[in-house]
């Protein structure tokens, strides 16, 4: 087994031009409008490719630079995918560099399909919670929120309107591959409100002006946790739509928390209350 994995990878038909159609297409996926249009995105690194495969994400094309691969596990992944019939393409080092999102691509990447679900197909009662967001400025914050959601058993994220791209490379990276197991829905506020009524879920928002401390509220399962953007928090319109508003206490001159941290503190409180019930 180890012998097989360490055998050199075939370099037949190695793509040596940066202008090859696949290479150009991957570079086009660095831009949101192309990701939206093609409903695909590009991931890189061993951990991401391995976890995408494990989560049965559709791999449209796997690319690798044989000379840049150092880890036997990456070679194993490629051979496994070749056997499984996934289209696999060897790239010259400089071609691989031309599509890299980061310095640590480890010589392996993949074009994968975006996954979107429709709100009406979802029964929220199967999960601890969903995160709801309308505006998040920092893609890294959004990815970190998804990583924490995965850690506590949250289902995923409900995006209101069309501002946020969960497939932004910086978001994907910050999820540390948790994103392949999180679920994504795009909807509007009126649709969300109708759906939550149907299932009797509570929409809980956070605001520094809320009168309830986040620790004094009972979070029913499933909770829809509505987090506002970094700069302005939840606007009045969204606060009005919530069934409950809670605040994270702060002392001294502090007036706000990092969005991913605030979300993490909230998610761990919701998670903790549920664990108590289950015990």
Binding site for its own copies (CB under 8 A): 140, 144, 147-148, 150-153, 174, 176, 178, 181, 215, 248-254, 256-258, 260-262, 264-265, 268, 271-272, 275
Largest separation between any pair of C-alpha atoms in the chain? 66
Residue closer to its own copies by CB (options 8, 218) is 218
Cα-Cα-Cα-Cα dihedral of 65, 66, 71, 74, to 10°? 70
| Min CB(145)–its own copies separation in Å | 9
Task: State whether the Cα torsion 56-60-66-67 is positive or negative.
Answer: negative
Q: 245 — phi, psi (to 5°)? A: -120, 130
Query: Are the C-beta atoms of 178 and 146 separated by less than 8 Å?
Result: yes
Residue closer to its own copies by CB (options 41, 271) is 271
Residue closer to its own copies by CB (options 51, 105) is 51
DSSP state at residue 117: B
Secondary structure of residue 129 in the 3-state scheme: strand
| Min CB(251)–its own copies separation in Å | 4
Q: 32 — phi, psi (to 5°)? A: -55, -45
| Min CB(43)–its own copies separation in Å | 17
| Min CB(271)–its own copies separation in Å | 7
37: burial class by Cβ within 10 Å (0-12, 13-18, 19+)? Answer: exposed
Residue-by-residue DSSP string for 217-233: S---SSEEEEE-BTTTB
Task: State whether the Cα torsion 161-242-122-171 is positive or negative.
Answer: positive
Secondary structure of residue 192 in the 3-state scheme: helix
| Min CB(248)–its own copies separation in Å | 7
Residue closer to its own copies by CB (options 84, 151) is 151
Residue closer to its own copies by CB (options 4, 256) is 256
| Min CB(177)–its own copies separation in Å | 9
Query: Are the C-beta atoms of 112 and 58 separated by less than 8 Å?
Result: yes
Residue closer to its own copies by CB (options 66, 264) is 264
Residue closer to its own copies by CB (options 189, 265) is 265
| Min CB(140)–its own copies separation in Å | 8
């Amino acid at each position: 087994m180890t012998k097989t994995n360490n055998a050199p990878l075939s370099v037949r038909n190695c793509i040596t031009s940066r202008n090859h159609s696949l290479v150009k297409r991957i570079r086009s996926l660095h831009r949101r409008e192309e990701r939206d249009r093609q409903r695909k995105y590009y991931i890189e690194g061993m951990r991401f490719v391995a976890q995408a495969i494990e989560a049965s994400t559709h791999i449209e094309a796997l690319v690798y630079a044989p000379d840049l691969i150092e880890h036997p596990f990456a070679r194993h992944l490629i051979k496994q995918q070749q056997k499984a019939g996934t289209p696999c393409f060897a790239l010259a080092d400089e071609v691989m560099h031309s599509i890299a999102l980061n310095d640590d691509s480890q010589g392996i990447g993949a074009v994968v399909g975006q996954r979107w679900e429709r709100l009406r197909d979802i029964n929220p009662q199967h999960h601890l919670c969903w995160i709801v967001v309308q505006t998040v400025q920092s893609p890294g914050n959004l990815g970190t929120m998804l990583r924490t959601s995965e850690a506590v058993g949250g289902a995923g994220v409900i995006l209101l309107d069309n501002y946020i791209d969960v497939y932004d490379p910086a978001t994907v990276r910050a999820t540390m591959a948790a994103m392949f197991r999180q679920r994504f829905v795009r909807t509007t506020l009126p649709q969300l409100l109708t759906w939550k009524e149907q299932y009797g879920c509570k929409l809980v928002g956070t605001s520094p002006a809320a009168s309830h401390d986040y620790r004094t509220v009972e979070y029913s399962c499933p909770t829809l946790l509505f987090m506002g953007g970094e700069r302005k928090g939840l606007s009045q319109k969204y606060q009005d739509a919530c069934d409950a508003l809670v605040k994270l206490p702060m002392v001294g001159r502090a007036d706000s928390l990092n969005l991913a941290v605030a979300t993490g503190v909230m998610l761990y409180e919701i998670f903790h209350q549920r664990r108590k019930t289950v015990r």
